[in-house]
């Protein structure tokens, strides 16, 4: 490398633009040829379209990776929850209860270790059942109060003085 090339700051730019088929002064100097301007505009729009396409592909790749990260995190959390539920339902954790008929479809499954997971998945159903029972009790109490209020009260005979 000669000493001349080291001190020339535009040498790098010349080498880059030189491979493109046109010289640097032609790019820098303004042209008044309409056809040349149209050609440059067309080329720049092609580059812009290519860059936009690459940008959208990059954004889609990033979104895909974010979704993958979220999915992996959710699967890991579900695995941890299932493992914790299985530990809490282990025979050492609770005394063995006598066999009873299964109150819902998910209990009494072929694999007893999955019953903890299925019980955890049934919390909305259990909550709705509790709410139904409370509403039933409130309705019965209101009906009993209405019947009590509707009963004719025994009148005491008037006492004459």
pLDDT digits (tens, 9 = 90+) for 106-157: 554 555 555 666 666 777 788 888 888 888 898 888 888 888 877 776 666 6
| Rounded-to-integer distance, Cα 53 and Cα 161, Å | 107
For the question of whether the overall pTM of this predicted structure is more than 0.75, the answer is no
* Residue from 1, 27, 2, 29 nearest 16 by CA: 27
- Is the confidence at residue 98, as pLDDT, over 60? no
Residues with Cβ within 8 Å of 10's Cβ and at least 6 positions away in sequence, in order, are 24
Chain centre distance of CA 32: 56
State the Cα–Cα distance between residues 88 and 67, nearest whole angstrom: 31
Mean pLDDT over all residues of the chain? Answer: 76
Query: What tokens appear for 125 in the block?
Result: 């159903």
């Amino acid at each position: 490398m000669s000493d001349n090339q080291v001190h020339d700051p535009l040498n790098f730019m010349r080498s880059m633009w030189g491979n493109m088929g046109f010289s640097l002064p032609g790019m820098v100097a303004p042209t008044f040829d309409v056809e040349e301007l149209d050609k440059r505009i067309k080329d720049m729009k092609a580059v812009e379209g290519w860059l936009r396409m690459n940008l959208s592909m990059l954004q889609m790749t990033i979104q895909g990776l974010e979704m993958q990260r979220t999915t992996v995190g959710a699967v890991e959390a579900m695995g941890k929850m299932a493992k914790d539920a299985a530990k809490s339902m282990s025979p050492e954790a609770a005394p063995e209860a006598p066999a009873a008929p299964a109150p819902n479809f998910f209990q009494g499954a072929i694999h007893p270790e999955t019953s903890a997971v299925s019980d955890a998945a049934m919390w909305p159903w259990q909550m709705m059942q509790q709410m139904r029972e409370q509403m039933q009790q409130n309705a019965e109490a209101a009906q009993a109060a209405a019947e009590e209020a509707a009963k004719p009260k025994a009148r005491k005979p008037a006492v004459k003085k």
